[in-house]
Amino acid sequence: MSKAISYAAPSAKEPLSFFQFERREVGPKDVQIEILFCGVCHSDLHTARNEWQNSVYPVIPGHEIVGRVMSVGAEVQGFKAGDLAAVGCLVDSCGNCPECSDGLEQYCDQGVYTYNSPDKHTGKMTYGGYSNQIVVQEHFVLHISDKLDLAAVAPLLCAGITTYSPLRHWKVGPGSKVGIVGLGGLGHMGVKLAHAMGAHVVLFTTSPGKAADAKRLGADEVVISKNADEMDKHVNSFDFILNTVAAAHNLDPFLALLKRDGTLCLNGVPEHAHPSPNIAHLIFKRRQLAGSLIGGIPETQEMLDFCAEHNITSDIELIAIQDVNTAYERMIKGDVKYRFVIDMATLNDQA
């Protein structure tokens, strides 16, 4: 066991605050990583505040982790002390089911998330990346390029893969007309990735002030989704729309924009359910409503390599860990450009 320090939510109603705990012994297949930067995902906020009604306290959020290897177990082959390394949303899975065999560990029924999941090693819950170090089995540790800004790489581990995976699954590329709904952490990565894949990208936002940024990030067009006239111009025209909005809203205006056989894929996991879609939108054009969960380990590595090749990182605002509660309040207002990343060195200031 080794001592670790973190910021944790003590309950749904209290702000995150300094918390000490222990990481497990480094086993033969484990990699121990000093965490340098950790992104702030809206899922962290949903979990810290028990919006999904499954939080076990204390919650140490954080699943966009980048850092440097401190030590490795005897059987680890792909990493050595001093290497850069990253961890995303998953730290374990059964390894045998059809999902694991296909490299889609995120769909394994026994998958273990990086935080707030039962941890068979400790008998407690898993504790995430708002901490100074983490111990993770090698299979779930990713390689990152030393050519990219490390802090700006962190959000690729959730926001990047969560948008990359559905864009690939629905075969987005040159000739596709793709919509991205919501310009937050996930949405801005969706815009960058869909653009790099060669699609015609339309960004849907509720924030007119984000239009210029959306174009800079790679959107060909920007639509203010509350403006029905602007929406009407795009009826029956999209191959694929990826919806990253973190709150319940009416999906019908987006379904109506899909071509025959087009797909609206949901990434957002809001606290409250969306109103049911009008099934006429599905039936009369054989449209599909789908969902997608992060991405598997092989695809996460593929995404990281794709981002290194195309020089893609997140647009970030680097914060001290002491500012994470303020960052949460700003995230709720949609006031993030476009991902908060915690500089974990500021945690050591506190120790």
Give the nearest distance from C-beta 302 to Zn ion in angstroms: 18
Q: Does 205 engage in binding with ligand NAP (CB under 6 A)?
A: yes
Axis-axis angle for helices 297-310, 185-196 (nearest 10): 70
Residue 38 or 158 with smaller CB distance to Zn ion: 158
Residues that bind Zn ion (CB under 5 A): 41, 43, 158
243 binds, among Zn ion, ligand NAP, none (CB under 5 to 8 A by kind): none
Q: Does 184 engage in binding with ligand NAP (CB under 6 A)?
A: yes
Hey, which residues between 271 and 330 contact ligand NAP (CB under 6 A)? Answer: 292-294
Phi-psi region at 201: left, alpha or beta (left = phi > 0; alpha = psi -120 to 50): beta
Residue 43 or 314 with smaller CB distance to Zn ion: 43
46 binds, among Zn ion, ligand NAP, none (CB under 5 to 8 A by kind): ligand NAP
Count of chain residues binding ligand NAP (CB under 6 A): 31
Give the nearest distance from C-beta 309 to ligand NAP in angstroms: 23
163 binds, among Zn ion, ligand NAP, none (CB under 5 to 8 A by kind): none
What is the rounded (10 degree) CA torsion for 276, 280, 285, 287? 10
210 binds, among ligand NAP, Zn ion, none (CB under 5 to 8 A by kind): ligand NAP
27 binds, among ligand NAP, Zn ion, none (CB under 5 to 8 A by kind): none
Distance of CA 307 to the CA centre of its chain: 15
Contact 39, 341 (CB under 8 A): yes
Compose the 140-179 pattern: x for residues touching ligand NAP by CB under 6 A, - for all others.
Answer: ------------------xx--x-----------------
Give the nearest distance from C-beta 39 to Zn ion in angstroms: 8
- CA count, 13 A, side-chain hemisphere, 18: 9
269 binds, among Zn ion, ligand NAP, none (CB under 5 to 8 A by kind): ligand NAP
Report which residue type is found at 224.
I
Give the nearest distance from C-beta 165 to Zn ion in angstroms: 13
What is the rounded (10 degree) CA torsion for 211, 282, 173, 141? 90
Q: Does 231 engage in binding with ligand NAP (CB under 6 A)?
A: no
Q: Does 267 engage in binding with ligand NAP (CB under 6 A)?
A: yes
H-assigned helices in the chain = 42-48, 98-101, 150-153, 159-169, 185-196, 211-217, 228-232, 252-255, 279-283, 297-310, 324-332, 345-350
- Those residues whose C-beta lies under 8 Å from the C-beta of residue 21, and which sit 6 or more positions away, are 4, 6, 8, 60, 127, 131
Determine the 3-state secondary structure of 310 from DSSP.
helix
206 binds, among Zn ion, ligand NAP, none (CB under 5 to 8 A by kind): ligand NAP
Residues binding ligand NAP (CB under 6 A)? 41-43, 46, 158-159, 162, 182-187, 205-207, 210, 244-247, 267-270, 292-294, 331, 334, 336
